[in-house]
Amino acid sequence: MVTTPGNIQPVRIEEEMRSSYLSYAMSVIVSRALPDVRDGLKPVQRRILYSMHELGLRPGTAYKKSARIVGEVLGKYHPHGDSPVYEALVRMAQDFSMRYMLVDGQGNFGSIDDDPPAAMRYTEARLAAIAEELLTDIELNTVDFTVNFDGSMNEPSVLPGLLPNMLVNGASGIAVGMATNMPPHNLSEVCDAVVHLIDHPDAVVEELMNHIPGPDFPTRATIHGRSGIFDAYTTGQGRVIMQARADVEELRGGRKQIVVTEIPFQVNKAALVEKIAHLVRDKKIEGISDIRDESDRHGLRVVVELRREAEEEIVLNNLYKHTALRSSFNVIMLALVDGQPQVLDLRRALQLYIAHRQDVITRRSEHQLKVARDRAHIVEGLRMALGALEEVIAIIRASDDAAAARQNLMERLDLSEPQSQAILDMQLRRLAALEQERLEREYQDLLKTIGELEALLADPKKVLAVIRDDTHKLKKRFGDARRTEIFDEEPTDKLREEMIQHQEVVITLSKGGYIKRIPSATYKLQHRGGKGVRGMTTRDDDALRDLVVADTHDSLLLFTNRGRVYLKRGFDIQGDTSRTTRGIHLANLLPIAETERVNATVAVNDMAAESTLVLATAKGEIKALRLEQLKNIRQNGLNAMDLEDGDELVSVRLADDSHDVMIVTMSGQAIRFSLAELPRRSRGAGGIRGIRLAKGDLVVSMEVVKDDDMLLVVTSGGYGKLVHISRDGSKGFRRQQRGGMGTRTFRTGPKTGLVAAARVVGEAHGEEVMLVSAGAQVFRTSVQGISVQGRITQGVILWRPDGGDEVASVACF
């Protein structure tokens, strides 16, 4: 190595960097970032609390400017910037950061919205009552003191710490190559665990968790799942899932809102609200109409208003999934043990706290014992002097000065120097009889105290008993109820369909394009000839177009008049409990063109089933299409059938090869033919002729039937009847060749009106019928109450619609 003259010595840069960085790393680990396991404090926190203690800022005293406290800390103990010191002081005064605040602040100390605190020249502070428990007995030689940074005074290396601060307030810090992140806990529970471990030294973590079930956060909220807590308590590392507490409130008009009253620990409320707003703006979360922060001094309250059609459970699940309403606290229980960083489990952390308290109580007792012995020694000398008072006075009078008197007393009465000095310092009033009695009582009390302290120091069990008693007193004075509720279930991001119950619903569609779903039980069963009930509110120029009964989890194929098909689930349709609401417009659900309208809806339980869709148009065209050809329907739909100009799709049914096809026209004609006659065509192909229509006639219904079925035919005037499918002659329908004129199925006239709809009924199709008028009245009755008649009869009155109203749709279930 090259050498240079003088005091300059060349060093390899890699060696210097290694050595310097190691020194820096150890300084950060030991002197800045990590808490001591004994008092749970980082050096800056400890120095702040000790400085406030030295300034006399006890609970109940006057507040002092934060700048004064920061200056005291900087000038005496902490040779760093004023900002970190003030930040540490502020955090200890924030009720949303500390489970048990150590500083009692006055002024603006920031908020859960991450608003900055006021400048230190404006705020004031003093010690909180519970912080006194960290400093109690510090003057009794209970902890070691070290010299400060400039060697001018001493500071405590640790606080006596009756409060188990590391567990109750937690800690977080990033060192070099390591970090700590300890959650806060409930003081009452920690005290119970300490007592249990004292009484049962071999207790395992599972037993301790009977007392400390998990963290207890200052912002309350909830914890979901116990596995992460168990991992943290057994290994020192784990993941705790926190979730906001949210309730759903009903609003007028059937709307709802989600109200968040508790949020996870360390979540910025303002940033949370902003995040929700961005998700709504970017359409990553749907169903939200407004977001408001209504928090005030009485508590936190974030309101998320929902759209009328929104499912609150789905919205809430998405909020949990995409925002900090569900967060994780990654536990790393790393602390300094004898100056070295160690990852601790729960049992070890409690053991080290108890060991610290044992050391503090032992040192306190030794100090108190020394003081008591010294005082007893003095009192013994005073008692001896009072017993030989005349001789003591004579010795003092005969002495030239105080030093000679002290020496003469020591030699003549066999006293020690402190005893002799105490006699010389004794005031004449102490010679009174009452004072002599008081001195005697003091001596006896001192002997008793000495005996108790000696017995305490000789028996570790008695030391533990003192810790137990102190812990009970601490719990009684500062213990409180748990804030964070713990649930056993692990949180899951449920799929939308998992959160919705299976329910039979009626889905209605108006001619104006409004769609909704409602529980089928909402419509009560009525007798034939009744008036019906209101099924949905329609405008004067609107009327009901279609009605289908389905399960909320069924797939809904919505076919437009132009032969296009869209796919939705039953729960995608706006749910309602009222029969009279209009629902939502299809434009808010499907990307349909202005000239398109949904004419047919098919409910499918399994899109992968080997079934056939049969499609019929108003002009008598028909087409068979395999269901599997529609299993991948895009958001913007697919073309299911190519239509001729002027024609439109009117009916779609799900079938298999055992079915026949039945087509019914508004004039009362009907034709039945085998589904096997229909070739399965490609998705984009057109149809073939199903029935030959008379001039002016149009197809109103197409059904798929079996021999045991019956056909329900209903006219616009409310007349209806049941006709057997398989009866011969005028009683039923024989199979014909596709494309013919068909046979008469209803004798229509001015009184009955034209055929409004025909539906197949039977065991497989349910036993109840629902009729819906153009004015949106709904009539529900049993199939058993409807007359079975021949093909060419006019039927009986089923329902009497209000004047000017007429039957528009029929459903069987």
Question: Which carries the bigger pLDDT value, residue 130 or residue 588?
Answer: 130
Predicted local confidence at residue 494, as pLDDT: 63
pLDDT single digits (tens) 69-111: 999 999 999 999 999 999 999 999 999 999 999 999 999 999 9
CA distances (Å), origin 498, targets 314, 577, 631: 10, 21, 21
DSSP type of residue 129: G
At 684, list the tokens. 């984009």
pLDDT > 90 in the chain, percent: 62
* 752 vs 747: CA distance, rounded Å: 9
Question: Which carries the bigger pLDDT value, residue 637 or residue 530?
Answer: 637
Would you say 703 and 614 are in contact if contact means Cβ atoms under 8 Å apart? Answer: no
Predicted local confidence at residue 433, as pLDDT: 66
Mean pLDDT of 272-283: 94
Predicted local confidence at residue 523, as pLDDT: 56
User: Does residue 577 carry a pLDDT above 60?
Assistant: no
What confidence category does residue 389 fall into, taking pLDDT thresholds of 50, 70 and 90?
Answer: confident
pLDDT single digits (tens) 216-266: 999 999 999 999 999 999 999 999 999 999 999 999 888 899 999 999 999
Query: From its phi and psi, is residue 136 left (phi > 0), alpha (psi between -120 and 50) or beta?
Result: beta
**Phi/psi at 375 (nearest 5 deg)?**
-70, -40
Of 173, 201, 211, 23, the residue nearest 91 (C-alpha): 173
State the number of CA atoms in the 13 A half-sphere of 478 facing the CB.
23
In what side-by-side order are the strands of the sheet with 514-519?
544-551, 504-510, 514-519, 584-585
Crossing angle for the helix pair 187-199 and 346-387, to the nearest 10 degrees: 80
Those residues whose C-beta lies under 8 Å from the C-beta of residue 196, and which sit 6 or more positions away, are 203, 207, 208, 211
What confidence category does residue 531 fall into, taking pLDDT thresholds of 50, 70 and 90?
Answer: very low
Placement of tokens 């299993």 in the chain: 631
Of 470, 460, 39, 369, the residue nearest 47 (C-alpha): 39
Question: Which carries the bigger pLDDT value, residue 83 or residue 533?
Answer: 83
Predicted local confidence at residue 32, as pLDDT: 83
Predicted local confidence at residue 527, as pLDDT: 47
* 52 vs 69: CA distance, rounded Å: 7
* 13 vs 6: CA distance, rounded Å: 20
Predicted local confidence at residue 4, as pLDDT: 56
Name the average pLDDT for the chain: 89
At 8, list the tokens. 């300059």
Predicted local confidence at residue 518, as pLDDT: 84
Q: Which of 101-105, 218-222, 466-470, 762-766 has the lowest mean pLDDT?
A: 762-766
pLDDT > 70 in the chain, percent: 92
User: Does residue 140 carry a pLDDT above 50?
Assistant: yes
At 24, list the tokens. 């820096």
Predicted local confidence at residue 90, as pLDDT: 98
**Phi/psi at 181 (nearest 5 deg)?**
-155, 90
Q: Which of 89-93, 285-289, 725-729 has the lowest mean pLDDT?
A: 725-729
Mean pLDDT of 323-344: 96
Mean pLDDT of 596-605: 90
* 768 vs 780: CA distance, rounded Å: 7
Predicted local confidence at residue 544, as pLDDT: 63
What confidence category does residue 725 fall into, taking pLDDT thresholds of 50, 70 and 90?
Answer: confident
Rg of the chain in Å (alpha carbons): 44
* 204 vs 234: CA distance, rounded Å: 9
User: Does residue 160 carry a pLDDT above 60?
Assistant: yes
Question: Which carries the bigger pLDDT value, residue 4 or residue 267?
Answer: 267
Predicted local confidence at residue 574, as pLDDT: 75
* 801 vs 113: CA distance, rounded Å: 60
Predicted local confidence at residue 11, as pLDDT: 87
pLDDT single digits (tens) 33-42: 899 999 999 9
DSSP characters over 57-91: --TTSPPEEHHHHHHHHHHHT--S-HHHHHHHHHH
Mean pLDDT of 662-676: 93
Is 122 catalytic? The answer is yes
Given the residues 21, 50, 77, 122, select the one marked as catalytic.
122
Per the document, the length of the chain is: 813
Q: Which of 143-157, 519-533, 741-755, 778-792 has the lowest mean pLDDT?
A: 519-533
Question: Which carries the bigger pLDDT value, residue 683 or residue 544?
Answer: 683
DSSP type of residue 694: P
Of 21, 28, 354, 353, the residue nearest 180 (C-alpha): 28
Of 504, 575, 584, the residue nearest 770 (C-alpha): 504
Amino acid (one-letter) located at 613: L
Q: Which domains does the chain have, with CATH numbers?
A: 245-324 (3.30.1360.40), 362-478 (1.10.268.10), 500-812 (2.120.10.90)
* 494 vs 224: CA distance, rounded Å: 14
pLDDT single digits (tens) 420-442: 999 898 887 776 766 788 889 99
pLDDT single digits (tens) 10-60: 888 988 888 887 777 777 777 788 999 999 999 999 999 999 999 999 999
Q: Which of 2-6, 241-245, 275-279, 759-763 has the lowest mean pLDDT?
A: 2-6
Predicted local confidence at residue 750, as pLDDT: 87
Those residues whose C-beta lies under 8 Å from the C-beta of residue 257, and which sit 6 or more positions away, are 248, 249, 251, 303, 304, 305, 306
* 780 vs 533: CA distance, rounded Å: 9
What confidence category does residue 293 fall into, taking pLDDT thresholds of 50, 70 and 90?
Answer: very high
In what side-by-side order are the strands of the sheet with 660-665?
699-705, 660-665, 669-674, 743-744
pTM more than 0.85: no
* 41 vs 169: CA distance, rounded Å: 10
CB neighbours (10 Å) of residue 55? 15
Predicted local confidence at residue 358, as pLDDT: 98
